[in-house]
Structure 1
Amino acid sequence: MIFLINVEFYIVNNVKDLEYIKRFGINLKQVRTSKKISQEVLAYSADIPISQVGRIERGEINTTISSVKAIAIALNIQIKELFEFE
Protein backbone atom coordinates (compact mmCIF):
# COMPACT_ATOMS: atom_id res chain seq x y z
CA MET A 1 0.00 0.00 0.00
CA ILE A 2 1.34 3.44 -0.94
CA PHE A 3 0.15 6.65 0.64
CA LEU A 4 0.65 10.00 -1.03
CA ILE A 5 0.74 12.99 1.22
CA ASN A 6 0.46 16.51 -0.08
CA VAL A 7 2.99 18.55 1.87
CA GLU A 8 2.98 22.32 1.64
CA PHE A 9 5.88 24.40 2.84
CA TYR A 10 5.43 27.86 4.22
CA ILE A 11 8.09 30.48 4.58
CA VAL A 12 8.21 31.66 8.17
CA ASN A 13 9.29 35.23 8.55
CA ASN A 14 11.42 36.20 11.49
CA VAL A 15 8.93 38.20 13.53
CA LYS A 16 11.40 39.46 16.11
CA ASP A 17 11.53 43.23 16.36
CA LEU A 18 15.02 43.68 17.75
CA GLU A 19 14.61 47.40 18.39
CA TYR A 20 11.41 46.81 20.37
CA ILE A 21 13.09 44.05 22.39
CA LYS A 22 15.97 46.42 23.23
CA ARG A 23 13.60 49.22 24.26
CA PHE A 24 11.68 46.79 26.47
CA GLY A 25 14.94 45.87 28.19
CA ILE A 26 15.95 49.49 28.69
CA ASN A 27 12.54 50.24 30.18
CA LEU A 28 12.74 47.21 32.47
CA LYS A 29 16.11 48.39 33.76
CA GLN A 30 14.76 51.91 34.35
CA VAL A 31 11.76 50.58 36.28
CA ARG A 32 13.93 48.19 38.29
CA THR A 33 16.55 50.81 39.20
CA SER A 34 13.91 53.43 40.04
CA LYS A 35 12.64 50.96 42.65
CA LYS A 36 16.21 50.41 43.86
CA ILE A 37 16.00 46.68 43.16
CA SER A 38 19.09 44.78 42.04
CA GLN A 39 19.06 42.27 39.21
CA GLU A 40 19.76 39.58 41.78
CA VAL A 41 16.76 40.48 43.94
CA LEU A 42 14.51 40.73 40.87
CA ALA A 43 15.68 37.36 39.60
CA TYR A 44 15.08 35.73 42.97
CA SER A 45 11.65 37.33 43.37
CA ALA A 46 10.57 36.44 39.83
CA ASP A 47 12.10 32.95 40.08
CA ILE A 48 14.17 33.38 36.93
CA PRO A 49 17.94 33.13 36.50
CA ILE A 50 19.88 36.33 37.15
CA SER A 51 21.63 35.88 33.80
CA GLN A 52 18.21 35.98 32.13
CA VAL A 53 17.39 39.32 33.76
CA GLY A 54 20.61 40.75 32.36
CA ARG A 55 19.95 39.36 28.88
CA ILE A 56 16.43 40.80 28.91
CA GLU A 57 17.68 44.22 30.02
CA ARG A 58 20.36 44.22 27.31
CA GLY A 59 17.80 43.23 24.68
CA GLU A 60 19.61 40.00 23.90
CA ILE A 61 16.59 37.73 24.24
CA ASN A 62 12.92 37.91 23.40
CA THR A 63 11.50 36.99 26.79
CA THR A 64 8.34 34.98 27.39
CA ILE A 65 4.96 36.20 28.51
CA SER A 66 5.32 34.11 31.65
CA SER A 67 8.61 35.83 32.51
CA VAL A 68 7.10 39.27 31.89
CA LYS A 69 4.26 38.43 34.27
CA ALA A 70 6.66 37.15 36.92
CA ILE A 71 8.84 40.26 36.57
CA ALA A 72 5.84 42.59 36.90
CA ILE A 73 4.67 40.77 40.02
CA ALA A 74 8.19 40.91 41.49
CA LEU A 75 8.37 44.66 40.78
CA ASN A 76 4.85 45.15 42.17
CA ILE A 77 3.67 46.87 38.99
CA GLN A 78 1.09 46.23 36.31
CA ILE A 79 2.38 44.33 33.29
CA LYS A 80 1.50 47.22 30.99
CA GLU A 81 4.06 49.43 32.74
CA LEU A 82 6.84 47.28 31.29
CA PHE A 83 5.57 48.21 27.81
CA GLU A 84 5.17 51.95 28.38
CA PHE A 85 8.21 53.12 26.45
CA GLU A 86 6.99 54.20 23.03
Structure 2
Amino acid sequence: EGVVTTFTIEDEKTVTLRRTGKVNSMMVFELGRIDDSLYEAGPGALMLRVQTKSLGVLMNEHGGIFDLSYSIEVEYATCGLNSYHIEIRVT
Protein backbone atom coordinates (compact mmCIF):
# COMPACT_ATOMS: atom_id res chain seq x y z
CA GLU A 1 0.00 0.00 0.00
CA GLY A 2 1.29 3.44 -0.89
CA VAL A 3 3.75 2.14 -3.50
CA VAL A 4 3.35 2.10 -7.28
CA THR A 5 5.45 -0.42 -9.21
CA THR A 6 6.00 0.26 -12.92
CA PHE A 7 7.81 -1.90 -15.46
CA THR A 8 9.10 -0.15 -18.58
CA ILE A 9 10.13 -2.32 -21.50
CA GLU A 10 12.94 -0.32 -23.08
CA ASP A 11 13.54 -2.87 -25.84
CA GLU A 12 13.75 -6.65 -26.17
CA LYS A 13 16.89 -6.69 -24.02
CA THR A 14 16.22 -4.14 -21.26
CA VAL A 15 13.44 -3.74 -18.67
CA THR A 16 13.34 -1.09 -15.93
CA LEU A 17 11.43 -1.53 -12.66
CA ARG A 18 10.53 1.65 -10.77
CA ARG A 19 8.90 1.86 -7.36
CA THR A 20 7.53 5.21 -6.20
CA GLY A 21 5.61 6.34 -3.14
CA LYS A 22 6.47 5.24 0.39
CA VAL A 23 9.58 3.61 -1.08
CA ASN A 24 11.55 4.70 -4.12
CA SER A 25 13.86 2.61 -6.24
CA MET A 26 14.85 1.90 -9.82
CA MET A 27 16.36 -1.36 -11.06
CA VAL A 28 17.56 -1.98 -14.62
CA PHE A 29 17.47 -5.54 -15.94
CA GLU A 30 19.57 -6.62 -18.89
CA LEU A 31 20.92 -10.14 -19.41
CA GLY A 32 24.47 -10.37 -18.10
CA ARG A 33 24.28 -6.98 -16.36
CA ILE A 34 24.70 -6.25 -12.66
CA ASP A 35 22.78 -3.17 -11.51
CA ASP A 36 23.47 -1.32 -8.26
CA SER A 37 20.84 1.05 -6.90
CA LEU A 38 19.37 2.52 -3.73
CA TYR A 39 16.11 1.43 -2.15
CA GLU A 40 14.89 4.53 -0.36
CA ALA A 41 12.44 3.78 2.44
CA GLY A 42 11.54 6.57 4.84
CA PRO A 43 14.53 8.10 6.58
CA GLY A 44 17.04 5.52 5.32
CA ALA A 45 18.24 3.78 2.19
CA LEU A 46 19.58 0.32 1.41
CA MET A 47 22.03 -0.66 -1.31
CA LEU A 48 20.54 -3.17 -3.76
CA ARG A 49 22.37 -5.23 -6.33
CA VAL A 50 20.46 -7.23 -8.92
CA GLN A 51 21.82 -9.60 -11.53
CA THR A 52 19.54 -10.60 -14.39
CA LYS A 53 19.46 -14.39 -14.79
CA SER A 54 16.89 -14.55 -17.61
CA LEU A 55 14.84 -12.03 -19.56
CA GLY A 56 12.36 -12.71 -22.33
CA VAL A 57 10.24 -10.06 -24.03
CA LEU A 58 7.66 -10.76 -26.75
CA MET A 59 5.58 -7.70 -27.65
CA ASN A 60 3.37 -6.63 -30.55
CA GLU A 61 0.54 -4.14 -31.14
CA HIS A 62 -1.91 -6.38 -29.24
CA GLY A 63 0.19 -6.77 -26.10
CA GLY A 64 2.65 -9.46 -25.17
CA ILE A 65 4.49 -11.14 -22.34
CA PHE A 66 7.71 -10.79 -20.48
CA ASP A 67 9.50 -13.11 -18.12
CA LEU A 68 12.20 -11.92 -15.76
CA SER A 69 14.34 -13.76 -13.23
CA TYR A 70 17.05 -12.09 -11.14
CA SER A 71 19.14 -12.57 -8.04
CA ILE A 72 19.11 -9.84 -5.43
CA GLU A 73 21.52 -8.70 -2.72
CA VAL A 74 20.66 -6.18 -0.01
CA GLU A 75 23.62 -4.46 1.61
CA TYR A 76 25.89 -7.09 -0.03
CA ALA A 77 24.02 -10.04 1.51
CA THR A 78 22.38 -12.50 -0.90
CA CYS A 79 18.61 -12.46 -0.39
CA GLY A 80 17.36 -14.80 -3.07
CA LEU A 81 16.01 -15.18 -6.57
CA ASN A 82 12.91 -13.31 -7.78
CA SER A 83 10.84 -14.02 -10.88
CA TYR A 84 8.05 -12.26 -12.75
CA HIS A 85 5.79 -13.49 -15.54
CA ILE A 86 3.66 -10.63 -16.85
CA GLU A 87 1.06 -10.76 -19.61
CA ILE A 88 0.00 -7.50 -21.26
CA ARG A 89 -3.27 -7.13 -23.17
CA VAL A 90 -4.52 -4.08 -25.03
CA THR A 91 -8.20 -3.46 -24.26
Query: Would you say same fold, with TM above 0.5?
Result: no
TM-score, structure 2 as length reference: 0.22
If you compute each CA radius of gyration, which structure gives the higher value, 1 or 2?
1
TM-score, structure 1 as length reference: 0.22
Higher helix share: 1
Compare relative contact order (CA 8 Å, sep 6+) and give the higher one, 1 or 2: 1
